[in-house]
Structure 1
Amino acid sequence: MDQQEAVALTPRAQAKARRRDEILDAAARLMARRGFHAVRLDDIGAEVGISGPGMYRYFSSKEDVLAEMLLDISRRLRDGGRAAVERGGDPAEVLDALLGVHVDFVATEPDLISVQFRDLGALPAGPRHEVRSLQREYAEMWVDALVRLRPELPAVDARAHVHAVFGLLNSSPRLPSMAEAELRRVLTAMASAALRS
Structure 2
Amino acid sequence: MPEAPDTPAALDATAPSRTSRERAKARRRADLLTAAARLFAAEGFDAARLEDIGAAAGVSGPAVYRHFAGKAAVLAEILETASSGLLEGGHDAVRDLAPGAESLRALIAFHADFAVDNRDVIRVQDRDMSSLPAADRTAIARVQRRYIELWAAHLRHLHPGEDHATAVFRAQAVLGMLNSTPHSVRRTPSDRSARRQALTSMAWAAASAPLRPAAPVVA
Same fold by TM (over 0.5)?
Answer: yes
The residue aligned with 1:173 is 182
Q: Cα offset for 1:32? A: 0.6
* Residue correspondences, number: 190
- CA drift of 1:71 comes to 0.2
The structure, 1 or 2, with the larger RCO (C-alpha pairs under 8 Å, 6+ apart) is: 1
Q: Does 1:155 align with 2:167?
A: no
Asked whether the equivalents of residues 85 and 141 of structure 1 are also in contact (C-alpha less than 8 Å), the reply is no
Counterpart in 1 of 2:128? 119
Shift of 1:154: 1.3
> How far did 1:18 drift?
0.4
Tell me the distance in 2 between the aligned counterparts of 1:39 and 1:196: 41
Deviations 1:137-160 (A, max 9, x none): 000000000001110111111111
Instruction: List gaps (5 residues or longer) in structure 1.
Output: 1-6
How far the C-alpha of 1:36 sits from its partner, in A, is: 0.5
* Counterpart mapping for 1:47-66 below 5 A: 47-66=56-75
**Structure 2: stretches of 5+ with no match in the other structure:** 1-15, 210-219
Q: Which amino acid aligns with 1:147?
A: R
Match of 1:192 among 204, 211, 218: 204
Deviation at 1:54, TM superposition (A): 1.3
Quote how far apart the aligned CAs of 1:86 are.
2.1
2:97 alignment counterpart: 88
In 2, distance between residues paired with 1:66 and 1:13? Answer: 22
TM-score normalized by the length of structure 2: 0.83
Provide the secondary structure at the position in 1 that maps to 2:95: helix
- Is the 2:185–2:191 contact (alpha carbons within 8 Å) kept by the matching residues of 1? no
Q: Does 1:182 align with 2:194?
A: yes
- TM-score, normalization: structure 1? 0.92
Output the aligned Cα RMSD.
1.5
- What is the rounded CA distance, in whole Å, between the counterparts of 1:151 and 1:111 in structure 2? 36
Structure 1 residue ranges, 4+ long, deviating more than 4 angstroms after superposition: none
Q: Which of 1 and 2 has greater Rg?
A: 2
The equivalent of 2:31 in structure 1 is 22
